[in-house]
């Protein structure tokens, strides 16, 4: 009997506070700034053959600060900037909904909004990802919870809200920033299969 091929490993990333400097309801390109070292970290993950996927709550849309087109425009800017560093995001998933949103069509409770796992499940299904061989990097426990529920190895960064959230986190590891997380991820991948990209279930 032919078995289906194993899913690919991936690195899931939160956006605000993990990739870019945390800014209140960020939606304008001119207000965007990378956390130092983040573009280079993404490029290193790309070169290792890992799928890099952003999963981000964007309730600024629900609260009327911007339109979905602004979110897409900002993500396009991120891709253009990453290309200058030899990197890319393989897929963006965002949730514009919020249960208390001021914009009626975006006022909703949904599993897509973290700490729900809806965006993760969508990416896993669409991109053929094996969550047990994958990682999550974020600055909030609402990033960590859905990833752990799916069997991922999780990293809480101390950038963004991470320095406050680390005292009560269930993350597998707490690291300084995305650069440190990427270095650890690549080391774990190398240790698990002699240099390939398969990820261990969880670091000890």
What distance in Å separates the CA atoms of residue 40 and residue 44, rounded to the nearest whole number? 6
**Any idea what DSSP says for residue 11?**
E
Cα separation, 26 vs 38, whole angstroms: 17
**Annotation marks residue 201 as catalytic:** no
Exactly one of 16, 51, 143, 172 is catalytic; name it: 16
Specify whether the backbone of 164 is left (phi greater than 0), alpha (psi in -120 to 50) or beta: alpha
* Residue 57 CA: distances (Å) to CA of 5, 25, 116, 177, 198: 31, 10, 10, 20, 28
Instruction: Examine the residue annotation and report whether 14 is marked as an active-site residue of this protein.
Output: yes
Whole-angstrom distance, CA of residue 133 vs CA of residue 144 = 15
Q: What are the residue numbers of the active site?
A: 14, 16
């Amino acid at each position: 009997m032919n078995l289906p091929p194993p899913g690919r490993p991936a690195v899931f990333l939160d956006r605000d506070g993990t990739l870019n400097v945390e800014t209140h309801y960020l939606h304008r390109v001119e207000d965007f700034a990378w956390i130092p070292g983040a573009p280079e970290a993404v490029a290193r993950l790309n070169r290792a053959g890992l799928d890099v996927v952003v999963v981000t709550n964007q309730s600024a849309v629900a609260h009327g600060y911007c339109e979905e087109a602004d979110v897409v425009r900002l993500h396009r800017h991120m891709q253009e900037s990453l290309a200058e560093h030899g990197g890319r995001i393989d897929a963006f998933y965002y949730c514009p909904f919020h249960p208390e949103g001021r914009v009626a069509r975006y006022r909703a409770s949904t599993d897509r909004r973290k700490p729900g796992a809806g965006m993760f499940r969508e990416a896993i299904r669409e991109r053929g990802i094996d969550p047990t061989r994958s990682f999550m990097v974020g600055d909030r426990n609402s990033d960590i919870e859905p990833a752990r529920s799916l069997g991922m190895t999780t990293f809480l960064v101390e950038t963004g809200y991470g320095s406050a959230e680390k005292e009560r986190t269930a993350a597998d590891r707490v690291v300084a920033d995305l650069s440190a997380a990427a270095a650890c991820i690549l080391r774990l991948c190398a240790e698990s299969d002699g240099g390939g990209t398969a990820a261990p279930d969880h670091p000890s």
